[in-house]
Structure 1
Amino acid sequence: MTKLQKMTAIGILAAISMILYFFKVPLPFFPIFLTLDVSDVPALIAAITMGPIAGVMVQLLKNILEYLSHGSYVGLPINQIANFLSGALIVGLIGGLYHYQKKLNWKSYALSITVFLTAMFFLNYYFILPTIMNLLGLNMNQYLTSFTEANPFVTDFRTAVLFVIIPFNLIKILFVYSVGLPFSFKLQRILQKRRLIA
């Protein structure tokens, strides 16, 4: 695949990803603002077929286009930044492991999921959620209301991240892997047969 073909493919996958981002499904037992979508799948395809950097680029372009098109409910693009960080970790980790090892096994999945959940705990605890709370002008008690309504085990900010955000992110990465990886590997085999990729 030439550099031009790769750049074109990244652009097309980013556009598809942004369209898929509109179709969000709320989950029972979670706050209404936590939804699942398949917009990470095109980035996962890029990460498997073209490398982890290509996958991260699809995530970056998707969120830039999304912000330019629809803005953010808190003004600054914190929700797009959060989506980018989450998506880039998902596709970058598994894409990096796949291209380094030339295969994936249970250790690859366990490592990528563990690193992803650990990173998302710290990112949400120290950066994403506090920033959203401050931009919305809410105090801690007001902000925790949606979390405590969804999960009775939430008693403070730490447990909100631990018992709501982390389980959601676990569901998210398992969902993206189960939907995106089989399709990515099938597409990769097709491209290899046509000698479009190595």
Structure 2
Amino acid sequence: MFKKSQDSQRLPVNHLVMMSLFGAISAVLMVFEFHVPFIPPFIKMDFSEVPVIFSGFLMGPIYGVYVACIKILLNFLLNGTTTFGIGELVNLIGSMSYVLPAAYWYSRKDRTKKAAIKGIALGTVTTTFVLVVLNYFIMFPLYAKVMNFPLEAIVNATSATNPLVHDPFTLMIFMLLPFNLFKYGVTGIVTMMLYPRLEKVFSQFK
């Protein structure tokens, strides 16, 4: 059940425990990534953002950012990186772009179900925009340079599954944009399904 008020007295130790728990769960969920039909193999789906947005709703936007950082750090320590940290950095920026507007809107609008839905919608649109711009101007060119993998090769690999893609711009518009809308939209739906059931349990530790 969505609450309309928030307890102003919080115990930092309990928040630290919950942050660690959500961060660990999120890191584990990153491992269980999977392919989405009609999407190139190098773009994968996972549900690691659910604990991030959950913590943002429960404790506040900044705690969602902390959980996102814990998620990336644990995943980096446990699994290393195959992209020289570029993929992990994009993931972290995506998490922050998602949880900050969503949790802020939710906390400012009396923590109602309607506010949660609007917050998730705002976070989804914000993240999609940020990631498309970031990947187009910075991350994809950086990835191509660091990994010695030309952008043309990435475009060709993508066009094999989506004929609308024929250059980096159309790659962003017809592949990354709909994928991110789908990924973070589904994450929001899962959050809306789980949060009312689990909020009462975790609120006892606040």
Aligned-residue CA RMSD in angstroms?
A: 1.7
- The question of 1:94 aligning with 2:102 is answered yes
8 Å CA contact 2:52–2:67 kept in 1: the answer is yes
- The question of 1:114 aligning with 2:122 is answered no
CA distance in 1, matches of 2:67, 2:106: 18
Q: How many residues align?
A: 194
TM-score, normalised by the number of residues in structure 1:
0.90
CA distance in 2, matches of 1:95, 1:169: 18
Query: Aligned pair in 2 of structure 1 residues 134, 157: CA closer, same or farther (>3 Å)?
Result: same
- The question of 1:42 aligning with 2:51 is answered yes
CA distance in 2, matches of 1:69, 1:108: 32
Identity of aligned residues (%): 25
Q: Which residue in 2 is equivalent to 1:65?
A: 74
Unaligned 5+ runs, structure 2 = 1-9
8 Å CA contact 2:140–2:151 kept in 1: the answer is no
Q: Which residue in 2 is equivalent to 1:8?
A: 17
CA distance in 1, matches of 2:66, 2:189: 22
Unaligned 5+ runs, structure 1 = none
CA distance in 2, matches of 1:84, 1:191: 24
Q: CA deviation at 1:138?
A: 2.2
TM-score, normalised by the number of residues in structure 2:
0.87
Q: Which residue in 2 is equivalent to 1:136?
A: 147
4+ residue runs over 6 A deviation: none
Q: Encode CA deviations 1:125-167: one digit per residue, 9 max, x unaligned.
A: 1122121111111223222121111210011110001111111
8 Å CA contact 1:90–1:112 kept in 2: the answer is yes
Amino acid in structure 2 at the alignment position of 1:44: I
